[in-house]
Amino acid sequence: MAYRFMHAGVLLAAGLCALSACTHQSHADMQAFRSSAQAFKVDTVVESLRHPWGMAFLPGGDALITERPGSLRRVSNGQLAAAPVTGLPEIEEVGQGGLLGIALHPGFERNRWVYLAYAGKSGSKYSTEVLRGRLDGMTLTDVEVVFKAVPKVRGSRHFGARLVFAPDGTLYVSLGDRGASPSQGDAHPSQQLGSHTGSLIRINDDGSVPKDNPFVGRAGAKPEIYTYGNRNMQGMALHPTTQQIWTHEHGPQGGDEVNIMRAGVNYGWPVITYGVNYGLGTKIGEGSSKTGMAQPAHKWVPSIAPSGMAFYTGDLLAGWQGDLFVGSLKFGLLVRLTLDGDLVTGEERLLDGEYGRIRDVVQGPDGALYLLTDAWNGKLLRITPDG
């Protein structure tokens, strides 16, 4: 259990602020907490963000934050720039879709490429798309689309849309099943290699297909697919030691999962799941296991509605080094998972709704953990040691 108490003072060590200058908080704006391994405090860096969704840190400590309604915001010196970054195409918010994931090219200091995932529209249909543009101050230039998931469908749910670069320079794009009915079983689009729906995508930085993707050359299969049988992956991170991609995905009513992504593997949705049909409690698919379909590394029953994901590798919050952190939309939690290699050995639930829906979790270049809260008046929060 985590214990909360009001912080007695504002004690921010010099040089710890990733955003170049710490904000001046009143005592009421800062709260302190204690986990089983680390005392910590939370303070608000900026607020007035409109449903912030994803975050990436620039060299020098500034942050770029996506807002689901379609704006890209920049935080410098602890202040939110009054106007959004310009140069993006018009991006429409549609239900759970809008401007979503963000990642910087590994060579950003040289090429200035920023990658953004969003809900792309054609007529009345949508799918997840990815664009890139070169950041020049407060403007994106040379904007081009590098990936479009097909098929586009009507509906406004389950876009996935996290972005992570791997050490080999390939870009992973997490997708959702777009709300397709689980009653389709084996015929569900997440089980069809001819559809990007419900899959993890792996592409090169220019959108071309890596030659070693698992389904390259298979008749009828989309060559960008790396894994399939996924429901709605809204968290993704690179394991700092193994360099494997880890994701988490929303289950239905119950059955949220953490998965270790391996090339060509079927993760089972909706043939197998630990969840049940919404409001009915009835069985989905064939049960919770089936030969040839992967089991999760961790699961939540009941669901926590996970979003955002980060391995903590810093020294600042030393008690948490090597742990995996996941945000919760449903309960407003910061979930800490302890690990022994690929094995999840424990779970601790922190914050307990104190700040509302946690949409993203990112380790900053200063070693602090940063959180985004999903609200019309969303916040950027900073977690540092207490004491």
Which residues participate in catalysis according to the annotation? 158
Q: How far apart are CA 311 and CA 10, in angstroms?
A: 27
The two three-digit tokens of residue 4, written as one number: 């909360």
Pair type for strands 31-34 and 369-373: unpaired
Residue 60 identity (one-letter amino acid)? G
Tell which residue, 213, 200, 196, 192, has the closest CA to residue 271. Answer: 192
Pair type for strands 334-340 and 343-350: antiparallel
DSSP string, 102-139: EEE-TTHHHH-EEEEEEEEEETTEEEEEEEEEEEETTE
Q: For the chain, where are the alpha helices, taking DSSP H only?
A: 108-111
The two three-digit tokens of residue 147, written as one number: 């990936």
Q: How far apart are CA 65 and CA 74, in angstroms?
A: 6
Q: How far is CA 254 from CA 157, 222, 278, 281, in A?
A: 17, 30, 9, 10
Q: How far apart are CA 98 and CA 117, in angstroms?
A: 9
Ramachandran angles phi, psi of 111, nearest 5°? -110, -15
